[in-house]
Amino acid sequence: MMNLIERDEALTSLQEMLAAALTGKGKVAMLSGTVATGKSALLDAFAEQAVELGALPVAATASRMEQDLPLGVLGQLIEEAPLVEEERVRALALLEEGKQTAMSSGLASETLDQVDAQIAHALCTVLLELSERYPLVIVVDDVHYADRPSLLCLAYLARRVRFARIMVIFSYSDYVRSTDAFFWTDLLRQPYCGVVQLNPLSRQGVHTLVRERAGEEVAVRFAEDWYAFSAGNPLLAAALIEDYLGGPGERDGEPVTDEPVVGERYGQAVLTCLHRGEPELLRIARCLAVLGDTDSLDRLLGLGHTQISRAMNALTAGGVLSVGRFRHESARTAVLAEVGLDERRDLHRRAAELAHADGAATSVIADHLVQAGPIDAPWVVPVLEDAARDALREGRTERGVDYLRLAWQACTDERRRLKIATMLVRAEWRINPEAPDRHLADLTEAMQRGHLRGSDGVVLARALLWHGRYDDAQDVIEHLTTAGYESDPETVMELNIARPWLRATHPAFASKLGEPRADTGTALVSVAAGRRLETATALAQVLVNGPHEGALIAVERILRLARLDEMSMDTVECALLALTYGGQAEKAAPLCDLFSVEASSRRAPSRQARLSAIRAEMAVRQGDMVSAEQYARAALEIMPITSWGVTVGSPLGSLVIALTAMGRFDDVHDILDRPVLDAMFESRYGLHYLYARGRYSLAVGQAALALRDFQLCGELTGRWGLDVPGLLPWRAGAAEACLQMGRSEQASRLIEDQLSRCNSRTPRELGMTIRLLAATSELRHRPMLLRKSADMLQNGGDRYEQARSLFDLAEAYRGLGEHRRVGMIMIRARALMKECGAEIGGAQAAAETGKQASPALSGGSAALLSEAERRVAVLAAAGHTNREIAGELYLTVSTVEQHLTRIYRKLDISSRADLPAVLEFGGAAVG
């Protein structure tokens, strides 16, 4: 029998007792065990065996619902007994008389007076006389639920079976055995009474159960886990097996999942165990499901500590709990589903009050408050505010928002409520900048009434600018400059930070704050505020005056020494952008990746999206169009376009540039068809969008449209004082558009102007401009310019623009008839384009029709060359002459010739035309 695993010892004990009873030596067996350990199944199996041995089973099952029915259990035994008609009539009459007596004497009595002694004697005599004809096995399952009169009669019968052919078996739950002390003490002191204990299944027992029902393979995979979830409770273990068999199970002989299946049947089995136990077990389980821990259970439920301890032990022994918690979340979910909303709220309310009285952590109290609903107490709002600050500091953003929302609802003081609303705007911003929009109107009105702190007003202004609500933002900024906040250090510091930030992001508003007054000072409110000021100033300096080495070193140090939770997102954003626009995207990219991982782990989608947008800008400047597309799309997926406000120009601009370089013009057309806020074009983000749109127009042959966008970029950057090559090389784009339109003189002027603004700190922009300069130069001068352009772009880290210069270089050599060099340069250019994920277009496509190049050098062959030889080989493969190589590497022409001779010999080639265009140098690909 599958349900009787590890029950041989118990069966043997019962069989020995029955053997004695059959010889006239009556026995009483007390079958004990926790809920659902298989007591009923064992009794059923034993009853079948008793029949085979010649005994007659007579059974009754007690129920909690029938405890108020006098003699109900004894009546079941009388009705099941095979009595002759005369005996049955007499017994039923006695039962009726006994019921009347019990009801008249009261059910609370523990004396035999509750049932007339003569009636009890007569009813028991019916069974005793029956045993003279048939050996009896009288079974009462769940005797702890029997009505009091029946217990009195059963105790009377048990005392008289010693010399009868009767075996009496009472099964009961360990937890409730002490309910009727007189019954247990009276029986257990009898020498013919024995206790048979049923324990939960062992690990091996669960393994056997699984093997019998689901097979050895399933047992090997899941028996250990299912033992942990059931603690050997047969009902729970069987339910877990049923969940597996009724779930995904196997497909084509292979398991669908390697995880143990825990489903609805397991949850129902847990509820069955609880409902079959005492009501207080269910109450405690429900309280645990709602609150999650055992703290203050005694006070919450009004139960004594001893009572709680006994109940917890029973739930643990029954396989429901382990160390005060549910063994599996499915059990908690099932119990929780039965708890009504009002009951849940009441439990959380009382738990919050007790936790506050005990001085618990504010987060513990706040968690209960969020679930409890409104509580009118003076300590509620301060607790929620403190808990929110801690949660936001620890990166638990969503929980912090929950605390602040409840605090905002519960607060009745207007000024404090506005302060909470400002905190809420900041917190919700981390998740979705669109969410706090509903608070902005109220905060703006409060600002005008003078009810909002100056520092909070700066936060409000920035939020309004994000959403393009420039009129409201201007009103707030004007209020900040005229309301006399000079005596508030925090407001002064926020205004000092806002000035360079506005200069770099919303330059049209920078002048509205004016210059700081000399008498306000620059004392730092905090280290974090100092970092924000330093990075915002550095970004503004880079965009106004170009990169400054000292400032870039400082912001890199800030990024490397700090974590995201120690600084605001503004600090991270300004520092990363300062490095990026300062020509150091290669340094900024790995730092940005680290902060992105941290933002993800802290569940701050808004931060993660903004970092992805910045990372896309870096990828564009590195010529990595595949990554640029991935980061830009990730930014727009993490945070929808409607939440980006005017800042959407950044991810959209990067996405348009990347897709344009890939030749996916239909995708770009769809993106540019999406509506954007007009206010975007009054911010730095609009510049990114315009420049990207110009690049797309150039690629599809709409040079006039491209020129218009590039010139608008120039007009805006000039008006705002942000006309530096590192932000957007709009003159290079405009010059390229002019060249397409045949306006070479205009192109030349733009190129000369751009060259005058570039220097060694802007190698990327300088290389892009020199490529265009070559296009306006005589053919014989182009190779020298294009090689310089490619070198500058390699130093600047932009592989895409470098590939474009190499394609133009190949075309220049083709025009000069130097076909030998075309192929070598083309393979290098194609390799770069492939790395970028870009597509060849324009003049590059024409050059692509040229001579096929030699194969790339294998890793084994490259290892033959010394470091000096590799340097020479790289430059020679790129088309440099011996004299140019000598100048580049500071060697004599003779030394270069000697290196080439050895290179040819080692690589088994005859001339530089056979040199591979892609070489590895210093552990990295050089091409």
Residue 369 has pLDDT above 70, yes or no: yes
Q: Which region among 339-353, 359-373, 482-496, 815-829 has the lowest average model confidence (pLDDT)?
A: 482-496
Q: Which region among 384-393, 689-698, 765-774 has the lowest average model confidence (pLDDT)?
A: 384-393
Q: Which H helix or E strand runs over 139?
A: strand 136-141
Q: Which H helix or E strand runs over 630?
A: helix 625-638
pLDDT value, residue 866: 80
373 alpha-carbon distance from chain centroid: 26
pLDDT value, residue 913: 66
pLDDT value, residue 922: 40
Residue found under tokens 């500058």: 792
How many CB atoms sit inside 10 A of residue 894's CB? 10
Residue 242 has pLDDT above 60, yes or no: yes
- Rg over alpha carbons for the chain, rounded to the nearest Å, is 43
Residue 72 has pLDDT above 60, yes or no: yes
Average the pLDDT over 794-800 and give the result: 94
Residues 645, 466 contacting (CB under 8 angstroms): yes
The residue count for the chain: 927
pLDDT value, residue 917: 52
Q: For residues 315-336, b (16+ Cβ closer than 10 Å) or e, as one string?
A: bbbbbbbeeeebbbebbbebbb
pLDDT value, residue 112: 46
Q: How far apart are CA 875 and CA 854, in angstroms?
A: 16
pLDDT in tens, 817-828: 888 888 889 988
pLDDT value, residue 876: 79
pLDDT in tens, 179-188: 566 788 888 8
Residue found under tokens 């056997």: 208
From the list 296, 216, 231, 302, the residue with the least C-alpha distance to 269 is 231
pLDDT value, residue 105: 67
pLDDT in tens, 648-675: 999 999 999 999 999 999 999 999 999 9
pLDDT in tens, 423-441: 888 888 778 787 777 778 8
pLDDT in tens, 171-180: 998 876 545 6
Q: Which region among 97-106, 537-546, 725-734, 860-869 has the lowest average model confidence (pLDDT)?
A: 860-869
Q: Which residue has the higher pLDDT, 395 or 748?
A: 748
Residue 252 has pLDDT above 70, yes or no: no
CA torsion 245→247→252→255, rounded to 10°?
-90
pLDDT value, residue 251: 47
pLDDT value, residue 842: 41
Q: Which H helix or E strand runs over 743?
A: none
pLDDT value, residue 3: 58
Q: How far apart are CA 37 and CA 48, in angstroms?
A: 19
- Mean confidence (pLDDT) of the chain: 87
pLDDT value, residue 858: 45
pLDDT value, residue 394: 82
pLDDT value, residue 171: 94
Residue 250 has pLDDT above 90, yes or no: no
Neighbouring residues of 827: CB distance < 8 A, sequence distance ≥ 6: 853, 854, 856, 916, 917, 918
Average the pLDDT over 474-489 and give the result: 79
pLDDT value, residue 659: 96
Residue found under tokens 């079976």: 161
pLDDT value, residue 925: 41
Residue 189 DSSP code: T
Confidence of residue 524 (pLDDT cuts 50, 70, 90): low
pLDDT in tens, 876-885: 776 677 887 8
Average the pLDDT over 765-785 and give the result: 95
Lookup: tokens for 691: 């420049």
Average the pLDDT over 442-459 and give the result: 80
pLDDT in tens, 142-157: 998 999 899 989 999 9
Pairing of strands 193-197, 325-326: unpaired
Neighbouring residues of 288: CB distance < 8 A, sequence distance ≥ 6: 294, 297, 321, 324, 325, 326, 332, 335
Residue 862 has pLDDT above 70, yes or no: no
Residue 806 has pLDDT above 70, yes or no: yes
Sign of the CA dihedral running 34, 195, 115, 79: positive
Q: Which region among 97-111, 257-271, 453-467 has the lowest average model confidence (pLDDT)?
A: 97-111
What sections of 163-215 are H helices per DSSP?
Answer: 181-188, 203-214
How many CB atoms sit inside 10 A of residue 704's CB? 11
Residue 575 has pLDDT above 60, yes or no: yes
How many CB atoms sit inside 10 A of residue 296's CB? 18
pLDDT in tens, 740-760: 999 999 999 999 999 999 998
pLDDT in tens, 282-292: 999 999 888 87
Q: For residues 454-485, b (16+ Cβ closer than 10 Å) or e, as one string?
A: bbbbbbbbbbbbbbbbbebbbbbbebbeebeb
- Work out the percent of the chain whose per-residue pLDDT is above 70: 91
pLDDT value, residue 859: 47
Residues 885, 897 contacting (CB under 8 angstroms): no
Residue 869 has pLDDT above 90, yes or no: no
Residue 856 has pLDDT above 50, yes or no: no
pLDDT value, residue 230: 94
In DSSP terms, 58 is beta-bridged to 138
483 alpha-carbon distance from chain centroid: 44
Confidence of residue 60 (pLDDT cuts 50, 70, 90): very high
Q: Which residue has the higher pLDDT, 189 or 846?
A: 189
Confidence of residue 896 (pLDDT cuts 50, 70, 90): confident
Residue found under tokens 């991270």: 572
How many CB atoms sit inside 10 A of residue 848's CB? 16
Q: How far apart are CA 222 and CA 262, in angstroms?
A: 11
